[in-house]
Amino acid sequence: MELQPGREAVVRVAVATLWTSPEAVRPVDRPALTAGADIPAWVSGLNTDQQVGDCVLSQLLLGERVLVSELRPDGWARVVAVEQPAAKLDPLGYPGWLSADQLTAVDPATRTDTDHPLVVDATVTGLHAEPGGPVVLPGVVVGTRLLPAGPARDGWRPVHVPGRAAPLWLLDNHLVPAPAATPPAEQALAVAQRLLDVVYIWGGLSAHGIDCSGLVHLAWRRFGVLLPRDADDQAVATTPLALGAERPGDLYFFARPGRKIHHIGIVTATPGDDGQRRMLHACYRRRRVIEEPLPADRTATLVGAHRV
């Protein structure tokens, strides 16, 4: 089937990047635009200024659903990422532009929502042509959902992959069953802690590069909890706490006076008797994911603690 406006499609690459517009794309972004979407090569080619360019809106993982709203002759698709809530932008999800080569059409007659999905729990893994064989789809990241294509064999599991007729294989211990219930917040924190030192990329949503709200979204997505994509929307979707009542895995939100929320971090320790707080966050200033005590200037913009 071909992509069609008004129909759903799914991502067929490990990580696809959602852009503000085709015209906003820079020459340095070329590796992220290919049919293979080499995100590690793209990230490694960015300088510190390019890492925070506002041409990137978000990223989508292998198998993630979108609603196609427009197709251009030059190979671009305007889509809504329906698994990334963004109520202030579109009630259906996060809107933006993708390379159409990174999508494959969905036949509604073959939807398999009743299957029991598996979730990638390895921070980064690859899909193989056969058990122990060559990697044909590298860079698949934690939180990616895949449908099983049969039982495990000799430590390997076959999975259905969008856009491919034959199943691909990955190590069975890189997969877990999709959770049936919301986990304790500490489990989401543990996923986020595995991304320490990952490069900060504005709009990033993977273990190759990530931003502050992307870190929170991805950590909870691993457990099937679809929080909104942006920090201000994440504040609306979570439950406020009295400052001092926060526990590891809760969320800190930050805003300057009179401005909307601009930053989010994950609580890593119960506040001390001296009021000292700690958090894990993708830090714009340091250009990486770090865990640290809140410095005075950060504390000055702390506007609340919330719980998922």
The tens-digit pLDDT sequence of the chain (308 residues) is 799 999 999 999 999 999 999 999 999 999 999 999 999 999 999 999 999 998 999 999 999 999 999 999 999 999 999 999 999 999 999 999 999 999 999 866 555 544 689 999 999 999 999 999 999 999 999 999 999 999 999 999 999 999 999 999 999 999 999 998 899 999 999 999 999 999 999 999 999 999 999 999 999 999 999 999 999 999 999 999 999 999 999 999 999 999 999 999 999 999 987 879 999 999 999 999 999 999 999 999 999 999 99
| CA neighbor of 65 nearest in space, from 180, 147, 152, 123 | 147
Is the distance from CB of 63 to CB of 42 less than 8 angstroms? no
pTM across the whole model: 0.95
